[in-house]
């Protein structure tokens, strides 16, 4: 189905052209954002006047027609060749390319085929920055992705048993998400039991889930849009140390969420979480950023960290996910997907954050 919003996005993008007459978009998420085309092989040439041509291969002849209202070129050879032809016809002198995405081989092929007088100009983050603030349609898709992901956790927890391996429980989560309509995982599901929870990005393996803490970080794509959530469950009665650490991380997470509003600097939001953890003596145990944007990709701008840039804007979808990690003990992280609204924020993740004990 072709929707109208993509042409509006292309006009917005073209209005940002500064030193370039045209932009060759190669990153699949950016191509999708500007055209609606979801195929794996596509390039978009966007001109200053907003007109656009999508280049793809014969496998996508039907699909591209169904998904986009751009002009379509089905390339018989490489896309690069077809793109070069269009460069010459376009009248553009300076053509931007996505320097964070185009690989060296593609760049060399483009450069070699350029007509005299045409220049390639590296461009960074132009479409990514446009994608930061989501429109109503995107927000609805992120919301649906987040709700399904939360439901999948509940379904999987119904099957959790002591003695399962991390990998088995991760498979239960992935199965539950697939059954709820996820088209794929946003990242490899993290299930980390006991001391392994001290590894922020533990890969689920043969470790057996016993009494103790269990960290679960999960996210999926629904209709192209990501969800991301981390929750802790404790099998059997938790220790006092676990309760205290859990309370500290939750306090930090709530403090950061409290700081989320339009105009708030991302560094300030990160600091809000960091200050709370510091007051509990956990400042050295918080080894990553507080959060990240998400949308068509699981990690997008803005980055909510000490080195993050810029301010929050209405419509941004971000995660807030402070954690503490203590070698030889374990780790705790709590993560929600949060929407920046005109008045502050809305926590999209419906799953409770009360300390959860399963027996
Ligand atoms: Zn996560
Ligand atoms: Zn995350």
- For the chain, what percent of residues have pLDDT higher than 70? 99
Q: Is the pLDDT of residue 3 over 90?
A: no
For residues 269 and 252, state if they share a domain: yes
For residue 40, give the CATH number of its domain: 3.40.350.10
CA of 283 to the centre of ligand 2 (A): 19
Distance CA 47, CA 334 (A): 44
Which residues are CB-contacts of 168 (< 8 A; sequence separation ≥ 6)? none
For residues 307 and 171, state if they share a domain: yes
CA of 211 to the centre of ligand 2 (A): 26
Domain final position from 78, 102, 130: 130
For residues 218 and 284, state if they share a domain: yes
Distance CA 63, CA 53 (A): 15
pLDDT-derived band of residue 1, with 50, 70 and 90 as boundaries?
low
CA of 254 to the centre of ligand 2 (A): 16
Q: What are the phi and psi torsion angles at 106 (to 5°)?
A: -65, -40
pLDDT-derived band of residue 303, with 50, 70 and 90 as boundaries?
very high
For residues 95 and 193, state if they share a domain: no
Query: How distant, in Å, are the alpha carbons of 58, 189, 204, 351 from that of 234?
Result: 52, 18, 17, 15
CA of 17 to the centre of ligand 2 (A): 31
CA of 218 to the centre of ligand 1 (A): 6
Domain of residue 38: give its range. 5-130
The pairing of beta strand 330-333 with beta strand 323-326: antiparallel
For residues 121 and 149, state if they share a domain: no
Q: Taking the CB of residue 162, how many other CB atoms lie within 10 A of it?
A: 14
Distance CA 42, CA 74 (A): 10
Helix 104-113 and helix 79-90: axis angle, to 10°? 40
CA of 337 to the centre of ligand 2 (A): 8
CA of 44 to the centre of ligand 2 (A): 29
Ligand nearest to C-alpha 304:
2
For residues 121 and 152, state if they share a domain: no
For residues 95 and 124, state if they share a domain: yes
Q: What is the mean pLDDT of residues 149-159?
A: 98
Helix, strand, coil share of the chain (percent; to 5): 35, 25, 35
CA of 98 to the centre of ligand 1 (A): 27
Instruction: Report how many domains make up the chain.
Output: 2
For residue 143, give the CATH number of its domain: 3.90.230.10
Ligand nearest to C-alpha 219:
1
pLDDT tens readout for residues 212-267: 999 999 999 999 999 999 999 999 999 999 999 999 999 999 999 999 999 999 99
pLDDT tens readout for residues 109-143: 999 988 888 999 999 999 999 999 999 999 999 99
Q: What are the phi and psi torsion angles at 160 (to 5°)?
A: -70, 130
pLDDT tens readout for residues 269-287: 999 999 999 999 998 999 9
Q: Is the pLDDT of residue 183 over 80?
A: yes
Q: What is the mean pLDDT of residues 207-214?
A: 97
For residues 107 and 157, state if they share a domain: no
Distance CA 158, CA 200 (A): 25
Domain final position from 130, 145, 161: 130
CA of 110 to the centre of ligand 2 (A): 36
Distance CA 194, CA 196 (A): 5
Ligand nearest to C-alpha 333:
1
Helix 28-35 and helix 5-15: axis angle, to 10°? 120
For residues 125 and 190, state if they share a domain: no
CA of 264 to the centre of ligand 1 (A): 22
Per-residue DSSP letters for 259-279?
H-STT-BHHHHHHHHHHHHHH
Ligand 1 is an ion; its neighbours by CB within 5 Å are: 217, 228, 230, 335
For 216, the 3-state DSSP assignment is strand
CA of 198 to the centre of ligand 1 (A): 15
CA of 294 to the centre of ligand 2 (A): 8
Q: Is the pLDDT of residue 165 over 70?
A: yes
Domain final position from 112, 130, 148: 130
pLDDT tens readout for residues 323-345: 999 999 999 999 999 999 999 99
Classify the phi-psi angles of 82: left when phi > 0, otherwise alpha if psi is within -120 to 50, otherwise beta: alpha
CA dihedral 272, 274, 279, 280 (to 10 degrees): 130
Q: Is 297 within 8 Å of 226 (Cβ atoms)? A: yes
Q: Is 298 within 8 Å of 186 (Cβ atoms)? A: yes
For residues 73 and 169, state if they share a domain: no
Longest dimension (CA), the chain: 73
Ligand nearest to C-alpha 188:
1
Which residues are CB-contacts of 306 (< 8 A; sequence separation ≥ 6)? 267, 270, 271, 274, 289
pLDDT, mean over the chain: 96
CA of 126 to the centre of ligand 2 (A): 23
Ligand nearest to C-alpha 288:
2
Whole-number pLDDT of residue 259 = 98
CA of 48 to the centre of ligand 1 (A): 38
CA of 240 to the centre of ligand 1 (A): 26
Helix 240-259 and helix 266-279: axis angle, to 10°? 160
Q: Is the pLDDT of residue 2 over 80?
A: no
Q: What is the mean pLDDT of residues 291-306?
A: 97
CA of 128 to the centre of ligand 2 (A): 18
For residues 176 and 309, state if they share a domain: yes
For residues 120 and 143, state if they share a domain: no
CA of 87 to the centre of ligand 1 (A): 41
């Amino acid at each position: 189905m072709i929707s109208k919003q993509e042409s509006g996005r292309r006009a917005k993008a073209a209005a940002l052209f500064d030193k370039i007459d045209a932009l060759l978009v190669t990153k699949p998420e950016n191509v999708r954002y500007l055209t609606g085309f979801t195929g794996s092989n596509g390039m978009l040439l966007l001109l200053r006047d907003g007109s656009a041509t999508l280049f793809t291969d014969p496998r996508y002849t039907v699909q591209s027609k169904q998904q986009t209202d751009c002009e379509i070129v089905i390339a018989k050879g490489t896309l690069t060749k077809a793109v070069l032809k269009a460069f010459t016809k376009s009248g553009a002198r300076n053509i931007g390319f996505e320097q964070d995405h185009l690989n060296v081989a593609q760049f060399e092929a483009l450069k070699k085929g350029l007509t005299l007088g045409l220049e390639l100009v590296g461009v960074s983050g132009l479409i990514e920055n446009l994608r930061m603030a989501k429109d109503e349609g995107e927000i609805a898709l992120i919301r649906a992705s987040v709700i399904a992901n939360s439901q999948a956790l509940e379904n999987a927890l119904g099957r959790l048993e002591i003695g399962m391996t991390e990998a088995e429980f991760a498979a239960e989560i992935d199965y539950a998400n697939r059954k709820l309509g996820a088209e794929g995982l946003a990242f490899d599901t993290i299930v980390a039991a006991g001391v392994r929870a001290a590894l922020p990005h533990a890969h689920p393996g043969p470790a057996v889930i016993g009494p103790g803490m269990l960290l679960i970080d999960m996210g999926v794509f629904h209709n192209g849009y990501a969800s991301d959530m981390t929750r802790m469950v404790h099998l059997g009665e938790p220790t006092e140390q676990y309760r205290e650490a859990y309370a500290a991380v939750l306090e930090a997470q709530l403090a950061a969420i409290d700081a989320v509003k339009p105009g708030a600097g991302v560094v300030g939001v990160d600091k809000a979480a960091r200050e709370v953890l510091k007051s509990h003596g956990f400042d050295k145990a918080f080894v990553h950023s507080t959060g990240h944007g998400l949308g068509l990709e699981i990690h997008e701008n803005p980055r909510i960290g000490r080195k993050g840039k810029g301010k929050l804007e209405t419509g941004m979808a971000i995660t807030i996910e402070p954690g503490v990690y203590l070698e030889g003990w374990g780790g705790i992280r709590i993560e929600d997907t949060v929407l920046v609204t005109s008045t502050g924020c809305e926590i999209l993740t419906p799953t409770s954050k009360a300390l959860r004990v399963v027996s």
